Amino acid sequence: MARHLITSAIPYINGIKHLGNLVGSQLPADLFARYQRARGNEVLFLCATDEHGTPAELAAAKAGKPVAEYCAEMHEVQSKIADGFRLSFDHFGRSSSPQNHKLTQHFAGVLAERGLIREVSETQMYSPTDGRYLPDRYIEGTCPNCGFEDARGDQCDNCTKQLDPVDLINPRSVISGATDLQMRETKHLYLCQSQMKDELEAWIDSKTDWPVLTTSIAKKWLNDGDGLQDRGITRDLDWGIPVKKGDEDWPGMEGKVFYVWFDAPIEYIACSQEWVDAGKGDDWERWWRTDKGAEDVTYTQFMGKDNVPFHTLSFPATILGSGEPWKLVDYIKSFNYLNYDGGQFSTSRGRGVFMDQALEILPADYWRWWLLSHAPESSDSEFTWENFQSSVNKDLADVLGNFASRVTKFCRSKFGEVVPQGGAMGDLEAKLIADLAEKIREYETQMEAHEVRKAAGALRAAWVLGNEYLQEAAPWSTFKTDPEAAAMQIRLALNMIRLYAVISSPFIPDASAQLLAALKTEDDSWPGDLDAALDVLPAGHAFEVPDVTFRKITDAERDDWQERFAGTR
């Protein structure tokens, strides 16, 4: 049994995420986790809310709530929405947890002992209007690299360039909009990433199977301009993990907290400790420490491209720099952006479909299928209502749903709600099984390679084979002249419904469960031997005709939704 540690980029606590956020990390991570479990492998799938830094403070202030209370409430909201999308986390943690406090302070202490943290006196933006220092995300302005006018003080979302607030053109306070900012002196800690450049580069070079998107971003940060720079890991904020050197106070760092991008990835490890402390697991170290059993773990991370620099450089610098036997990531699956109907999703402008709204309109499987089958892997992709309607109606309703409906209803009308007996397979069935085997192996190959869209394409092609078989075999015609042959055709087709339910479960888990329940079977074993898999439901096995698996989206609904989500949240 292989062991898979899977983490999704942890979403910020500041509000409900849109579909672009979902498809860029959590959803494909869930797909991979479900697939590996279906193959009988041991999986630990972790995610959490990212609760520190300026986004949390700003969102709490806007909501008129203390930041700790706001974060607790939003964690509950995000957790329920994740459940709604059937995200099968083994644990959904919180970066504000006591476990992450302790572990982050531990890493800082160890890195300091190894000479990889230095103190820096620097000038930082201070806002007299706000009466406080402004950490990076409290400042916005124009990016000096690409001219994007809403770049943040740590990074430009448009070109992904790493920035410092002082780099911005025409900087302004996010809190008040004040532009009368002053530079004042303060002291901070820096992680000495530059000392680790060669080690990080050698490690990245060893990952020859990583997506080009992942490695190209990592190499850009390693080598562009002046190369990999040391990175500030503390901030002048009230909310966050207090700066400590392990369990010891850190002289000169009183009142400061660790930078959110230092503590957030550490939460992946802390989250597994939360998992154990919540009584869900019994040994987190066998997943994370190579001296405690993690040598045989395959660790895969899923994230949007804006998160890649921190997971290819900063977090590995923390892990490698500690000198301790922590598990490093084996594969980083990164995604481009999903755009929305001719523009961009925008949280601030309420443009696009947000996760809670999506579930109010349609069940999770409709969204899961479209998002995964259109995942922005090789380039940015675009959500349009026309494409969504077409994909749902053709793939889910016309191909998969129609097959299940036709087969079960025909069987009920001619043989009753029981798998019919009689008849022997012929050349047509042999060809179908060979073609199915080929598509299922292709599907498995693409899933193992983390090729989400290609896996969806192979799965759909397997569904299509069933419909093509029905058209050619035409059991409704066969029944008139050879009822036993028709019985064989329908018995095979009923077993194909079970097969489809099993192999489709990573993509559309609710529909899969519905079909298995209608077939009155709990056998969800993966089809290693396809002949055996197509004989699981024996003659005489009772079933029920399922409810409509997928309904079609009407033109009127499509037009209504397009207007509703144009930007008025």
538 phi and psi angles, rounded to 5 deg? -80, 165
With beta carbons less than 8 A apart as the criterion, state whether 520 and 471 touch: no
The kind and range of the H/E element at 63 are helix 54-63
Per residue, the 3-state secondary structure of 459-495, as one string, reads HHHHHHHHHHHHHHHCHHHHHHHCHHHHHHHHHHHHH
Whole-angstrom distance, CA of residue 335 vs CA of residue 320:
25
Q: Which residues of the chain have pLDDT under 70?
A: 348, 567-569
With beta carbons less than 8 A apart as the criterion, state whether 444 and 568 touch: no
Q: What is the DSSP letter of 134?
A: -
Please report how many Cα atoms fall inside a 13 Å half-sphere around the Cα of residue 353, on the Cβ side: 25
Whole-angstrom distance, CA of residue 307 vs CA of residue 334:
8
Whole-angstrom distance, CA of residue 184 vs CA of residue 515:
65
Q: State residue 137's pLDDT score.
A: 77
The torsion angle over the Cα atoms of residues 508, 513, 518 and 522, rounded to 10 degrees, is 140
Other CB atoms within a 10 A radius of the CB of residue 558 amount to: 18
Whole-angstrom distance, CA of residue 439 vs CA of residue 91:
33
Q: State residue 138's pLDDT score.
A: 84
120 phi and psi angles, rounded to 5 deg? -130, 130
Q: State residue 157's pLDDT score.
A: 84
Whole-angstrom distance, CA of residue 548 vs CA of residue 514:
10
Q: What is the DSSP letter of 450?
A: T
At 310, list the tokens. Answer: 């921190």
Q: State residue 569's pLDDT score.
A: 46
Strands, sheet with 151-152, edge to edge from the N-terminal-most edge strand = 151-152, 139-142, 169-173
State the residue for tokens 């074993």.
525
Predicted TM-score (pTM) of the model is 0.92
Q: State residue 155's pLDDT score.
A: 87
With beta carbons less than 8 A apart as the criterion, state whether 189 and 234 touch: yes
